[in-house]
């Protein structure tokens, strides 16, 4: 997993990495978001092959480029065989002001589900970048041993399989690493336990309140991080109210737990969430804005939450949520949800549309 973390940090600074897949496939890949004329030229020269831009099925379908709309695609230019940074931005970033090329000027190749190219996009997602990557198949005849070739050219080498396994491994290896008493307003007995994956990746927190009494079902809130709502009191969402509301309700009930999950923006990261907000100001709803950026409606996984609950000894919960998907996800992961406890708060004029979309399009019970 360490190789994935390193590769993520390389692509975040605009460097290319070597991804190796099954049956000898290998590519050079870098993040579309970090493209420059220089690194585009560098990846072309190193791979000795024209570059392609890989985008998700969702982005391809927004751009009306995909035949099926089900698979990620690799896009290249028909006319001069070269991508330019302007073309990359126009295709990968819905906020780009560059003109979109005519579809007839583009060549579009659908990708196999577990291809290296797909791993490249996943790596960009793990790095909380736009879900798009520039790739170049490695055709250098001296690259028979790809790992050695990567070392010789000073590129990090990563197994695509490790990237596909990354989320799962992160969750599976979560361990409590510190615990402290943190009295909260209205919940003075609170303790915070920090969980970290074995490889030092994303940390999640458990806020223990009062005196939870397993094996009785424990009053539980899974709260996805929301910097804007939780910390700044943004009125665009209901997160701040839900966070403080849950702490109050659990505390008044005598005990329970709030898991504060590092899943900002339903898993797309803060920077992408801010992009989604710009798109929402242009008229897209919260789900379509994710789609414009190339993300699924909701990118969250709940294995970290289930693992933390298990380690805390809370196998049965009463879940504070309006989102049936959270209930189903926990049940699938072996946590018994005995009851869904509604967790709605008054709306304001800035979040009415957002909450209406959740109710009408993503199944929230509001």
List the one residue from 27, 87, 237, 317 that touches Zn ion (CB under 5 A): 237
Q: How far is the CB of 324 from Zn ion (least distance, A)?
A: 19
x-or-dash string of contact with Zn ion, 326-345, rule CB under 5 A: --------------------
116 is in an annotated binding site: no
Q: How far is the CB of 244 from ligand GTP (least distance, A)?
A: 13
223 is in an annotated binding site: yes
Calculate ∠ Cα 28-31-37, nearest 5°: 85
Give the nearer residue to ligand GTP in terms of CB position, either 59 or 223. 223
CA 275 to chain CA mean position, Å? 14
Measured in residues, the chain has a length of: 366
Catalytic residue among 48, 297, 298, 318: 298
List the one residue from 21, 127, 229, 291 that touches Zn ion (CB under 5 A): 229
Instruction: Compute and round to an integer the Cα radius of gyration of the chain.
Output: 22
Please, what is the angle between helix 160-172 and helix 303-312, to 10°? 30
The β-bridge relationship of strands 132-137 and 52-55 is: antiparallel
168 is in an annotated binding site: no
**Whole-angstrom distance, CA of residue 268 vs CA of residue 131:** 9
Binding region for Zn ion (CB under 5 A) out of 93-101, 148-156, 224-232, 292-300: 224-232
Q: Give me the torsion for CA of 38, 41, 43, 45, rounded to 10°.
A: -140
Considering CB distances under 5 to 8 angstroms, the limit depending on partner class, which of ligand GTP, Zn ion, none binds residue 242? ligand GTP
Question: What one-character DSSP code corresponds to residue 110?
Answer: E
List the one residue from 226, 258, 279, 329 that touches ligand GTP (CB under 6 A): 226
Please, what is the angle between helix 303-312 and helix 324-332, to 10°? 60
Any contact of residue 256 with Zn ion (CB under 5 A)? no
Any contact of residue 286 with ligand GTP (CB under 6 A)? yes
Give the nearer residue to ligand GTP in terms of CB position, either 39 or 242. 242
Tell me if 307 sits within 8 A of 172, measured CB to CB. Answer: yes
CB under 8 Å to 258, separation ≥6 — which residues?
A: 206, 207, 209, 220, 221, 223, 243, 246, 247, 250
Q: How far is the CB of 237 from Zn ion (least distance, A)?
A: 3
Start-to-end C-alpha separation, the chain: 40
Tell me if 150 sits within 8 A of 69, measured CB to CB. Answer: no
Whether 244 is a known active-site residue: answer no
242 is in an annotated binding site: yes
Any contact of residue 39 with ligand GTP (CB under 6 A)? no
Whether 300 is a known active-site residue: answer yes
Q: How far is the CB of 322 from ligand GTP (least distance, A)?
A: 3
**Other C-beta atoms lying within 10 Å of the C-beta of residue 331:** 13
226 is in an annotated binding site: yes
* Binding residues for ligand GTP (CB under 6 A): 223-226, 237, 239, 242, 263-266, 268, 273, 276, 286, 290, 321-323, 326, 343, 358, 364
> Known catalytic residues?
298, 300
* Binding residues for Zn ion (CB under 5 A): 226, 229, 237, 239
């Amino acid at each position: 997993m360490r190789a994935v973390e390193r590769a993520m940090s390389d692509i975040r600074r605009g460097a290319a990495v070597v991804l190796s897949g099954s049956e000898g496939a290998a590519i050079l890949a870098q993040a579309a978001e970090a493209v420059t004329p220089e690194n585009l030229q560098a990846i072309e020269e190193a791979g000795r092959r024209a570059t392609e831009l890989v985008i998700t099925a969702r982005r391809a379908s927004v751009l009306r480029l995909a035949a099926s709309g089900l698979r990620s695609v690799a896009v290249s230019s028909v006319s001069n065989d070269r991508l330019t940074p302007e073309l990359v931005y126009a295709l990968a970033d819905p906020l780009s002001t560059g003109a979109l090329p005519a579809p007839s000027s583009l060549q579009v190749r659908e990708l196999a589900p577990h291809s290296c190219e797909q791993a490249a996009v996943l790596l960009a997602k793990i790095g909380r970048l736009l879900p798009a990557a520039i790739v170049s198949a490695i055709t250098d005849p001296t690259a028979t041993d790809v790992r050695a070739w990567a070392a010789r050219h000073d590129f990090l080498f990563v197994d695509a399989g490790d990237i596909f396994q990354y989320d799962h491994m992160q969750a599976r290896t979560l361990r409590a690493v510190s615990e402290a008493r943190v009295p909260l307003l209205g919940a003075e007995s609170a303790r915070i336990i920090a969980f970290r994956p074995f490889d030092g990746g994303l940390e999640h927190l458990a806020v223990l309140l009062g005196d939870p009494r397993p094996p009785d079902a424990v009053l539980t809130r899974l709260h996805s991080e929301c910097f804007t709502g939780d910390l700044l009191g943004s009125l665009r969402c209901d997160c701040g109210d839900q966070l403080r509301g849950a702490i109050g309700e659990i505390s008044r009930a005598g005990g329970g737990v709030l898991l504060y999950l590092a899943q900002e923006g339903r898993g797309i990261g803060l920077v992408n969430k801010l992009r989604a907000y710009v798109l929402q100001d242009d008229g897209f709803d919260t789900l379509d804005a994710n789609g414009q950026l190339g993300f699924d409606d909701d990118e969250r996984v709940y294995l970290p939450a289930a693992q933390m609950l298990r380690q805390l000894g809370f196998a049965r919960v009463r879940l504070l949520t309006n989102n049936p998907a959270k209930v189903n996800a926990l049940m699938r992961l072996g946590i018994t949800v005995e009851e869904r406890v509604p967790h709605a708060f008054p709306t304001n004029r800035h979040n009415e549309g957002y909450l209406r979309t959740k109710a009408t399009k993503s199944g929230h019970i509001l």
